[in-house]
Structure 1
């Protein structure tokens, strides 16, 4: 069994991390990738009413278009941090092609 550790609780660790965005295949959200570029800011929003999990964190563009969600392994520890008032910012790191949808959009997240 793998035990996930909150990286914010580990001394000497950066408060930034990279991850992919899941859910791009739903509602043809992957089509939005063509308008994104490295460095574009993204919005992270809590979605506690999500049917799949109350710790869901939605990723959207500044134009309010939903791209998908942070992976559950991340939202499990990040959601309580955001609920406690910590600010999470995100931006596009890179967009990949020729791979599964859940690996195409790589973002960087910073926690304050």
Structure 2
């Protein structure tokens, strides 16, 4: 049992070391975090981490830092990100801001459930 536990810990340390050294120049890390933040602001709620890691793999960026960047959309910031997405998409489509405020969105939240 101890042998398996030691092997598992050694494998975890090796994976962490590989993740840290994977395309780890400051520029590559910044690009990976930005990619993760972009994925974190997508409407794929619940799949932000997977989306960030997938994009980082396809674009050959650091997957660990892309995953960290996707954590921008945690439960305290997600409502504001969604409100910003709605406002920006409405502005791009119609040329005017949506008649929507945080108070209006919260007042009508029960209709979405």
> What TM-score results when the alignment is normalised by the length of structure 1?
0.28
The answer to which structure, 1 or 2, has the higher relative contact order (CA under 8 A, 6+ apart) is 1
Q: Which has the higher helix share?
A: 2
In our comparison, the structure showing a higher alpha carbon Rg is 2
> What TM-score results when the alignment is normalised by the length of structure 2?
0.28
